[in-house]
Chains A and B, each alone.
Chain A
């Protein structure tokens, strides 16, 4: 039996030195699911599976009949693949020449969302400070009161627009109910793209919270309209 095991051990081919046992478990997290090597030109599908771009391209364009993920059979759309940009330089893959007369195109580019908006904390604080100043002006004569009224009205409008914008981000699936959405085509497009790019489905709890927020917003809008009519 010992000799048999010896033969079994001797029969295995020598592995590259950089693939020792200590690093094997760590490197496996970044290995392509098709060639089992460290991924070159790494790319990730929406279902989260990692491949080399040449391996995935060969599978999608030459072997797969329904353009499915090689691991879980989910539908793969090339415009929704996410490349991984590490610190290494992008090198020409010699395997792309293994198919005669076929050139593998470049990896799909990442879909970069818009730059994050600057923080609005300071702006909100200034807004509140303005309100405080306005409240302090109750006692002054009628001329001051008129100025106060204008300021309040402007504040009301200013508060309304961001609310609409943020509301769309949450309830974009109900955008058809609010005609006001058409007034912000750029924002709407960004919101739609962002939601799909991330692919985060809303949880039940999140949906419930959104429902309450919608109710609150409708109540606030109703109060504003009532105040204008009353005036």
Chain B
């Protein structure tokens, strides 16, 4: 397969490197694969962030990498209705090609997907390609997103989308049941009953708990991976997938951390030692001068007594 790609192209080499890393360290939060015929187009699916109205949802999308990648940012398009980003439209993010001035060459598809998960519960503020549905509508869309993957593009793309969807369904737990009001409860229950007759069985609940444990482990591993890659932005993004955190705050924290390096103490020790020795030497010299002065004073007294 390597013969199919131009290995002299730095963008292709970089993309193959990312693909190798993602295959060796898979995540439970997202999955992404490139087309065989065009390595610059990737299909991805992300899991809705937990403790939000998107939890349990599986959202598909497409990433298009530019020919100057990683020096130019990619473009992102969501395919599954989600209530936060429009579908079939390139979305405006600080990591997308709408803002090439904010792009960092050290970011990758992995960090972009982590950031996308973190952006889901944020306030859109009228950004291009954003939507602001209500929580109930988003939860309904999350339940619907698990039933079937979206239809998009050629049969090869559809095959890739189906494969990714199958992987994500096996990894992500189902949408949690809201207990706020019965009206919102009934709709998810009915829909779940239609698709999964055994959803209320104890065995099913036990399996769900097991999946939850696996997710926790996956997230821990993910953070370690990000730390190993020395990518502060990634670390912040993966740690704080919370509704109130925005991308810019994440970057500011990263900057603050990086700009406070530990000072080196070894280099200063020799200087301190030399300085101390010089001070001691000077003190001894002063003591000697004072003693000499004292001796002269004593001799003067002796001379006076001789005169008398």
Chain A 196-208 interface mask (CB, 8 Å, partner B; 1/0):
0011111100100
Residue of A nearest to B260 (CB): A201
A189 is an interface residue with CB less than 8 A from chain B: no
Q: Are B14 and A36 closer than 8 Å at their CB atoms?
A: yes
How many whole Å from A102's CB to the nearest CB in chain B?
14
**Cross-chain contact A200 with B263 (CB below 8 angstroms):** yes
With an 8 Å Cβ cutoff, the count of chain A residues facing the other chain is 78
Selected interface stretch from B52-60, B112-120, B284-292: B284-292
Render B1-31 as a binary contact track against A, CB cut-off 8 A, 1 for contact. Answer: 1100100111001101111110110000000
Q: Tell me whether B33 is interfacial, beta carbon within 8 Å.
A: yes
A156 at the interface (CB under 8 A from B): yes
Residues of B within 8 A of A48 (CB): 258, 261
Complex Cα spacing A15 to B2, Å: 8
A152 touches B285 (CB 8 A): yes
Pair B264/A231 contact, Cβ less than 8 Å: no
Residues of A contacting B71 with CB < 8 Å?
34, 58-59, 62-63
Most interface-central of A72, A145, A163, A213 (chain B CB within 10 A): A72
Q: Which of under 10, 10 to 19, 20 to 34, or 35 or more describes the interface residues of B?
A: 35 or more
Q: Contacts A37-B17, A159-B281, A209-B272: A131 and B167 contacting too (C-beta < 8 A)?
A: no
A201 touches B263 (CB 8 A): yes
Known pairs A36-B18, A138-B295, A145-B292; list 16 more (Cβ under 8 Å). Answer: A4-B166, A28-B228, A34-B70, A35-B17, A49-B230, A72-B232, A72-B259, A74-B258, A124-B277, A131-B284, A159-B278, A162-B274, A163-B278, A206-B263, A213-B276, A220-B279
Query: With the chains together, A85 CA to B40 CA distance in Å?
Result: 35
**Contact with A163, one of B233, B254, B264, B275 (Cβ below 8 angstroms):** B275
- Contacts of B16 on A, CB cut-off 8 Å? 13, 15
Chain A CB within 8 A of B155 CB: no
Q: Which 9 A-B pairs have the closest CB atoms?
A: A36-B17, A163-B278, A156-B285, A70-B105, A72-B258, A159-B281, A166-B275, A13-B1, A33-B106
Q: Complex Cα distance A33/B111, Å?
A: 13
Q: Contact between A37 and B13 (Cβ–Cβ < 8 Å)?
A: yes
Q: How far is the CA of A61 from the CA of B226 in the complex (A)?
A: 28
Question: A109 → chain B, closest Cβ, in Å?
Answer: 21
A156 touches B275 (CB 8 A): no
Q: Who on chain A is nearest to B4 by CB?
A: A13
Could you tell me the distance in whole angstroms from the C-beta of B163 to the nearest C-beta in chain A? 5
Q: Could you tell me the distance in whole angstroms from the C-beta of B214 to the nearest C-beta in chain A?
A: 15
Q: Is B271 an interface residue, CB under 8 A from the partner?
A: yes
